[in-house]
Structure 1
Amino acid sequence: MNLKRVVWATLLLGLVICGFFAYRIYSAIFSPNTKFVNEEAYVFVPTDSDINEVADVLEPLLNDVTTFMAVADRKGYSTNIKGGKYAIKRGMNNNEIVNSLRSQNIPVRVSFNNQETLADLAGRIAEQLEADSLSLLRAMNDSNFLVESQFTDETKLGLYIPNTYEFFWNTDAEGFRNRMLKEYRSYWNTEREKKAEEIGLTPSQAIALASIVQKETVKVDERPTVAGVYLNRLKRGMPLQADPTVIYAIKQKSQNFDTVIKRVLYRDLEIDSPYNTYKYAGLPPGPITMPDISSIEAVLNPQEHDYLYFVADVSNFGYHMFAETLVQHNRNKVQYIRWLNQQKINR
């Protein structure tokens, strides 16, 4: 009788112990393990992270990091960690968290605007992707890549068309650069190449001209008119005489692209640079900024007119006064010079 009791007691104790461990395992895997109050939180897992580094990233969001690590190890995630951006939803259990981290990398939206240098672009992208600015700049300037993609040191700025794109956060520098080349080639389809050819330009030349248009006017609706002026000058063999190219030449010479120049002086027109379109005829050797799509489209679809000149309209700031003749232009110019002097803008 005593033996039976011992056996039953042992069996019962065994069941209790097994039940306890089963509960612990079930709880570790399937019980909610988040402690934030928002509907979801996002984590960024760096490339080549180990499980301890992932745990450090998750620690502010979880009730129990130890159980997460145990489940991650049991599901094989600890040896197969992938960098990226991941969503952790409130109330997720460890099993769901591991599944999210293992297979649900979320794209991020990457935006950039009209940067004047690749260094500026690299810095902008490094704020949005895992790749650092030095690796990005190195990839952008890679000589083999430039040769293979048919860009030069002068035209490489035009490869990057300002817009908003989707990337995985852990995209590396070469991946970003290669994607931008793909976007560039997609933009320059047969129809746009034909439009450029009809106005006597290659895609690189169209981008160079678009960069001038970009700098000349902030008004998108005015850009086709400005583009038409420069194309009229090119057709007539006139120098472009674009102040933004002179400003770019000054910045390039000093290697200080943060310089603010509000007024181009007569002495500036003498700077010896292929970007100085007062001194050298035709288009500059490359873009002076990254033109956005509206400026490129303005060049490809210019307004047809007979204007050859324009100057800022101080009665309608942001816009310009256009003229067909130099006499008319000089009359328009008087009001602008007077305004500059009144504002004491000397540089």
Structure 2
Amino acid sequence: MARSAGGTTRLLMVFLLILSCAALLLGIWLVESVPSQAAEVFGPPAPHLGLMQRWNLSLRLLLAQDALTRPADPDGVERKFTVELGEAVDAVAFRMEDEGLIRSSEAFRNFLIYAGLDTGLQAGEYQLSPAWSAVELAYRLQDATPMQIPFVVLAGWRAEEIAAALPTSGLTIAPDAFLRAVKRPAQVDLPEELRGVKRLEGFLYPGTYELKRDTDVNSLLALLTAEFAAQMDADWLAAVEAHGLTLEEAVILASIIEREAVVDEEAPLIASVFHNRLQAGMRLESDPTVQYALGWQETAGTWWKNPLTLDDLRAESLYNTYRNTGLPPGPICNPGQAALQAAAYPAESPYYYFRARCDGSGRHAFAVTFDEHLQNACP
């Protein structure tokens, strides 16, 4: 009986030893396997995490894998989300869950700590979508660079000046690609009213546009021309036609008015001078048309040479309205609302001449005859 009891004890000890070894092996497997599986799904952990912290977070992430990798709303759209300066990670996570951007604030916070992104959370405004996973959202919050940026087109800019603003705008559109598309807009989805236009100079409506950083050249031009088309209501088109102008001719005239009128309220009176000259068969003799023809001035660093010399006024170009009667072959800039309205609704006046006043106000002195025009010259 004693030997039988001893044998049972030995068997129990062997069993316990085997069980202990199995538990040890299982523990080793869990210690190695859980972080390995987490790394496969969520990427490597932050290097500063200790062994137990890394294992604990890895297990938590695996258990919450669905909440972290599936979007809260696959059909959701982007919306503005602001991270305040000094706002705690927990507070950001709770707000994101409340606003339906993520499924679980706890899982989101654990991932931020696991990936070492909790310390890189930046204050700022973001465009975030619930159609993105929590993992993607975590990385988006590391860059406070706005997803949308303002892009400004000033009234009176020619296409080259718009192109020159692109490199510092935050957009990825190359100036050369922009100018090529302006000259040959075959790939641009133009508004129906502009589909016969061969060049887009003059039809790029000035204003401030909120654009996504990845906006391409064709999308930008489609937006600018769509905004231009939105300004052309039936009354404006009828007024243009009543003056015997086509749409493109009205834009050409507006572009000249834009460059001549320093003060918007003078635009209708300046327009009346050009309308009067066109009806009388006189040359427009507008300095900005010569400036456009001369192009870039390396020494002065401008597209608009000023002052012009007598030799400049003799420049051989179809755009030179000192040499050619009627309108130039195309717009010389991209006019704004005041100039477009003035081209269609000029003031009624007897004037055929105008020149800048000598007081530096930007206003003009108008004259009926050339002799009066000469008398308006500065001393």
- Structure 1 residues 274, 326: CA separation in 2 closer, same or farther (over 3 Å shift)? same
Q: Which runs of 5+ in 2 are unaligned?
A: 1-11, 35-51, 69-82, 89-110, 118-124, 129-133
Q: Secondary structure of the equivalent of 1:156?
A: coil
Q: Compute the displacement of 1:6 (Å).
A: 10
Over 3 Å counting, the alpha-carbon distance change for 1:327 and 1:24 in structure 2 is: same
Does residue 122 of the first structure (1) align with residue 163 of the second (2)? Answer: yes
- The 5 Å alignment of 1:6-85 reads 21=55, 23-26=57-60, 37=85, 66=115
**In structure 2, what is the equivalent of residue 82 of structure 1?**
none
> Residue 150 of structure 1 corresponds to which residue in structure 2?
196
Do 1:117 and 1:157's aligned partners in 2 also have CA atoms closer than 8 Å? Answer: yes
The one of 157, 179, 184 aligned to 2:223: 179
8 A Cα contact 2:297 2:305, kept in partner? no
- Corresponding position of 1:262: 306
Which residue of 1 is the match for residue 108 of structure 2? none
Percent of aligned positions that are identical: 26
SS at 1:108 equivalent: strand
Q: Name 1:314's counterpart in structure 2.
A: 358
1:214 aligns with 2:258: yes
Aligned-pair CA distance for 1:157? 0.8
1:37 and 1:27 mapped to 2: Cα distance?
28
Are residue 193 (structure 1) and residue 237 (structure 2) matched?
A: yes
1:98, 1:210 → 2: CA distance? 48
In 2, the alpha carbon distance for the partners of 1:262 and 1:136 equals 27
Deviation at 1:265, TM superposition (A): 3.1
Matched, 1:136 2:178: yes
The one-letter code sitting in structure 2 at the alignment partner of 1:107 is: Q
Partner residue, 2:280 = 236
- Could you tell me the TM-score, scaled by structure 2's length? 0.61
CA distance in 1, matches of 2:335, 2:268: 13
State the 1:299 CA deviation. Answer: 1.6
In the alignment, the residues of structure 2 paired with residue 294 and residue 205 of structure 1 have an alpha-carbon distance, to the nearest angstrom, of 16
CA distance in 2, matches of 1:319, 1:278: 22
Equivalent residue letter for 1:131: I
The answer to whether the Cα contact below 8 Å between 2:156 and 2:336 also exists between their aligned partners in 1 is no
Which structure is richer in relative contact order (CA contacts within 8 A, separation 6 or more)?
1
Matched-pair contact (CA < 8 Å) for 2:289–2:320? yes
**2:192 is equivalent to residue 113 of structure 1:** no
2:330 maps to a residue whose letter is: G
Cα distance in 2 between the residues matched to 1:211 and 1:195: 17
Q: Is the CA contact 2:57–2:114 (under 8 Å) kept in the aligned structure 1?
A: no
Relative to 1, partners in 2 of residues 1:118 and 1:137: Cα closer, same or farther, differing over 3 Å?
same
Question: How far has the Cα of 1:230 moved from its partner?
Answer: 0.9
Secondary structure in structure 1 of the residue aligned to 2:201: helix
What is the CA–CA distance in structure 2 between the aligned matches of 1:266 and 1:65, rounded to whole Å? 73
Question: Counterpart of 2:186 in 1: which secondary structure?
Answer: helix
CA offset at residue 234 of structure 1? 1.3
Query: Aligned letter for 1:271?
Result: A
- Whole-Å separation in 2 of the counterparts to 1:126 and 1:115: 20
TM-score (norm 1): 0.66
Q: Number of matched residues?
A: 284
Q: CA deviation at 1:318?
A: 0.6
- Across the aligned residues of Structure 1 and Structure 2, the Cα RMSD in angstroms comes to 4.2
Secondary structure of 1:327's aligned partner:
helix
Q: Verify the 8 A CA contact 2:267 2:342 in the aligned structure 1.
A: yes
> Of residues 92, 97, 118 in structure 1, which corresponds to 2:138?
97
Letter in 2 for 1:123: A
Q: Which amino acid aligns with 1:235?
A: Q
In structure 1, distance between residues paired with 2:364 and 2:266: 8
Q: Which moved more, 1:121-130 or 1:235-244?
A: 121-130
Instruction: Please list the CA deviations of residues 166-201 of structure 1 after superposition, one character each: whole Å capped at 9, or x if unmatched.
Output: 222111122212223322332323332212112222
Tell me the CA shift for residue 125 of structure 1: 3.0
- Residue 315 of structure 1 aligns to a residue whose secondary structure is coil
Higher Cα Rg: structure 1 or 2?
A: 2
Counterpart residue number, 2:205: 161
